[in-house]
A and B are shown apart, each in its own frame.
Chain A
Amino acid sequence: MFSEPASGHARFKNKADITALLGAFCFFLSTIEYMIPKPLPFMRLGIANLPILLAVGLLPFKWYLLLALVKVVGMSVISGSLFSYIAIFSLAGTLIAAVAMWIAHRLGGRLITSVGVSIAGAITSNLVQIIIARVIVFGDAATLIAPLFIGMGLITGTALGLFAEKFTLSSRWFAAAREASRE
């Protein structure tokens, strides 16, 4: 999987490394998100999706989807929630958001900024999570929390998109990673 270097200090900055580093930041941001008080226990701000948003313009689709899976599986192992409903929420929300952001980025081209891409991901992720909540936890009452969820998605999606927009323009790491991903 990893391109092993000939000498001990040679670097192996390839797509696997970029994926792994962004995956680690997903874990880190998930840990921070876990510490932020929320009005409802199921509500997620979605800040852990920021590395996936950055990866839209960085990784090929295969590695991009792998990053989404690394985020879900890694966080489930750390928190021990791999066999719980939480993992189902996380898997569905993350994968659908990743695919929606990829499609928005590809179809929108230069017409759509990171803010638009991020909002597309946040809204689709929240919609899918409401549908799952309706089926397995809350029943029909899930529709009552839908406006709150969608509203939160809009706010956090915009904030994350603004951050990603500025970060991709100014970051030295992002520029270096983009170079490495082209090799």
Chain B
Amino acid sequence: MNKVSRPEDKNSGSREDVPAIQRLKADAAEARMRRKEFYASLFPANELALTGLFLSVAFLFQKSLPAKSVMLAFFIGASWFAGRKFSLLATLIVAGTIIAANLLVPFGKVLYQTGPFIVTEGALLDGVDKAVTFEGLMYLSKSSILPSLKIPGAFGAVVARSFLYYDRIVENRVKIRPATLLADADALMLDIWDSVTVQTSQEITKTGSFPEVHGMRLTDSRLDESNTEKVYRLSPQGRLLGLGIPALGAFLLLFFLR
């Protein structure tokens, strides 16, 4: 008589592995969140953004490809330290697409040829330079822009309110089904509209229900300057770094623009 295997038997070999993989993923996510929080507590958001701005100009005007590649490696490291997601595959796909597109217009010394496809030195170097620049700016930006960045002025206030609404949308439990898409979307808009606009910014301060973006809390200082709660308290060292890092960025900018 043939043995009839139960459905769970089919997966019995990998069943033990699944929790281990999930555990590894959970540990990695937790470690990333810890890095994210530590990074945010180390650097003041606005000064870090200013430094990123200086460095982006220095990076753009860097003519040496090896130096640019070293800077890219540093930015990837900084982005990892900042708790940003890093995917080697996605990075390689984007870089590969840029290089491949540039190879389609050949110029310079022919390095390799097969059929109509020609790899030329000029097109290859140009493609690599553009790919390194594209990825470098991406990772520099990821490591220098914190979600707690405070945008000043009236424009910043509207952006802050948008984040508040966005938080409610993400939290909302209204289901959107393809069959009733229009009605569900309308219900969601009305629900969000009502859930937020009944609260004044003072009430939000009392309840402490500040919006979270990607797991990081925004302060109500985005809404009202008089009600500022610092979610990330900076250490004295962090404040010193806050002064030091833009100065370092400015120095690097001058150095590379010589």
Which residues of A are at the interface with B, using a C-beta cutoff of 8 A?
Answer: 1-2, 4-5, 8-13, 16-17, 19-21, 23-28, 40-42, 66, 69-70, 73-74, 76-87, 136-142, 144-145, 163, 166-167, 170-174, 176-177
Contact = CB atoms under 8 A, between A and B. Distances in A.
B104 A141 contact: yes
Contacts, number: 173
Nearest to B194: A11
B33 interface: no
Contacts of A1: 154, 157-158
A85 B137 contact: yes
Contact of A81 (B90, B138, B202): B138
Contact of A77 (B137, B145, B165, B186): B145
A5 B142 contact: no
B198 A20 contact: no
B174 interface: no
Interface of B: 49, 52-53, 56, 84, 90, 93-94, 97-98, 101-102, 104-105, 126, 130, 133-134, 137-138, 140-145, 147, 149, 151, 154-155, 157-159, 161-166, 168-170, 181-183, 185-186, 189-190, 192-193, 196-198, 200-203, 213-214, 223
Given A20-B158, A83-B141, A4 B200 contact: yes
A82 B158 contact: no
B138 A86 contact: yes
The prevalent SS among residues of B at the interface is: helix
A24 B101 contact: no
A142 B101 contact: yes
B186 to A, nearest CB: 4
B128 to A, nearest CB: 12
15 contacts: A12-B200, A24-B163, A41-B97, A66-B158, A70-B162, A80-B141, A81-B142, A81-B145, A83-B140, A85-B137, A139-B102, A170-B182, A171-B186, A173-B189, A177-B193
